[in-house]
């Protein structure tokens, strides 16, 4: 059986440090070796690969095209090895830190109020909560699990549906007491509609679902997170379209009202997305079991 075609790990570490610092001197200081030793290791790597990784001019060095290509591979590979090493050390005896990538408003309104029960049941597990709603990359974000809105099509992951989304229109009671109370779909044209910047088609989906006319709409601010939209609606900046479970308290205490009884299904749902590579870690299995039990209870 053929062995792996791999250069010296020490040479790879040195090359990555030199490329990161763009300096043999600073790389040597980081690695606690002499500058000449760092230079020899990079030279040995270039000899092994039979391609130049740096151009050397006087006291300046610069990655070649081959060097930039190889540096990206080496850097990502060392990051992965480092993360796995930390993972094993921190996971000893089932302990460690559980890193959760969390949608900001979902986390604040639904998850955080419930997490005390998980922490009480598993005091040996530390929690690291990261605001995360962009493209999902477990390695880059260094997270174990994530809560995402979508359609369940994440690659290299175990995906558990948490809940569907029910959408309703809300506004400040001040708007209802003003010169143009919202008593029909057509009366929305007198008010600004607050938009969610990451769901630009939300209002179009609502108008289409209820069969209302979309002519002569007035657009209000476009905001990135639901908690911003909630506050904007309370402040009377316009009419908002929000998942019902996120505004239960505001509707109950009267800071927001619902002009229409209709509630429509949202264009996606909330999912627990677990890194396939980490799915068997004890802390991950415990959290997954816990959150699915919370969903079943609610």
Q: Is the dihedral of CA 222, 226, 228, 234 positive or negative?
A: positive
Could you give the dihedral angle defined by the CA atoms of residues 117, 121, 126 and 127, in that order, rounded to the nearest 10 degrees?
-30
pLDDT at residue 92, as a whole number: 62
Among 165, 166, 161, 167, which residue's Cα sits nearest to residue 296? 161
pLDDT at residue 1, as a whole number: 60
Alpha helices by DSSP H, the chain: 9-21, 24-31, 35-49, 65-90, 104-106, 115-121, 138-141, 173-176, 202-210, 226-234, 248-253, 282-297
Q: Is 92-164+269-297 in CATH node 3.30.420.140? A: no
| Tens-level pLDDT at each residue, the chain (298 residues) | 667 889 999 999 999 999 999 999 999 999 999 999 999 999 999 999 999 999 988 778 999 999 999 999 999 899 888 877 776 776 665 568 899 999 999 999 999 999 999 999 999 898 999 988 878 888 888 899 999 999 988 988 999 999 999 999 999 999 999 999 999 999 999 999 999 998 888 999 999 999 988 888 899 999 999 999 999 999 999 999 999 999 999 999 999 999 999 999 988 899 999 999 889 888 999 999 999 999 998 7
Helix (H, G, I), strand (E, B) or coil at 277: helix
pLDDT at residue 85, as a whole number: 79
Q: Which two tokens stand for residue 96?
A: 């460690």
Helix (H, G, I), strand (E, B) or coil at 44: helix
Statement: the pTM of the whole predicted model exceeds 0.85? no
Among 296, 294, 246, 278, which residue's Cα sits nearest to residue 115? 294
CATH architecture of 9-90: Orthogonal Bundle (1.10)
Among 229, 217, 208, which residue's Cα sits nearest to residue 187? 217
Crossing angle of helices 65-90 and 9-21, rounded to 10°: 110
pLDDT at residue 142, as a whole number: 84
Reported CATH class of domain 166-264? alpha beta
**Domain 9-90 shares a fold with domain 92-164+269-297:** no
What is the number of other CB atoms lying within 10 angstroms of the CB of residue 219? Answer: 11
> HSE-up of 252 (CA within 13 Å, CB side)?
6
Helix (H, G, I), strand (E, B) or coil at 227: helix
Among 137, 20, 35, 139, which residue's Cα sits nearest to residue 71? 20
Cα separation values, 96 from 81, 124, 126, 281, Å: 17, 7, 6, 10
Domain ranges of the chain: 9-90, 92-164+269-297, 166-264
């Amino acid at each position: 059986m053929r062995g792996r075609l791999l250069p010296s790990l020490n040479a790879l570490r040195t090359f990555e440090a030199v490329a990161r610092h763009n300096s043999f001197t600073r790389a040597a200081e980081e690695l606690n070796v002499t500058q000449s030793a760092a230079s020899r290791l990079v030279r040995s790597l270039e000899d092994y690969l039979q391609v130049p990784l740096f151009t050397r001019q006087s006291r300046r060095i610069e990655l070649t095209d081959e060097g930039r290509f190889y540096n990206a591979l080496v850097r990502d590979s060392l990051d992965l090895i480092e993360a796995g090493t930390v993972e094993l050390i921190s996971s000893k005896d089932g302990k460690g830190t559980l890193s959760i990538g969390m949608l900001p408003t979902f986390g604040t309104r639904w998850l955080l109020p419930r997490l005390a029960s998980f922490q009480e049941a598993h005091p040996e597990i530390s929690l690291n909560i990261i605001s995360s709603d962009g493209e999902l990359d477990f390695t880059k974000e260094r997270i174990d699990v994530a809560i995402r809105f979508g359609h369940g099509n994440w690659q290299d992951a175990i995906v558990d549906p948490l809940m569907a989304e029910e959408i309703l229109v809300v506004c400040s009671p001040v708007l209802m007491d003003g010169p143009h109370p919202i008593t029909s779909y057509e009366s929305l044209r007198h008010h600004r509609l607050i938009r969610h910047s990451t769901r630009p088609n939300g209002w179009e989906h609502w108008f289409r679902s209820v069969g209302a006319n979309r002519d002569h709409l007035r657009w209000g601010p476009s905001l990135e997170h639901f908690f911003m939209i909630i506050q904007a609606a309370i402040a009377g900046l316009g009419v908002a379209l929000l998942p019902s479970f996120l505004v239960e308290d505001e509707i109950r205490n009267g800071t927001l009202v619902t002009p229409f009884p209709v509630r429509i299904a949202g264009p996606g749902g909330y999912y627990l997305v677990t890194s396939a590579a980490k799915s068997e870690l004890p802390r991950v299995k415990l959290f997954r079991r816990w959150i699915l039990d919370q969903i079943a209870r609610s």
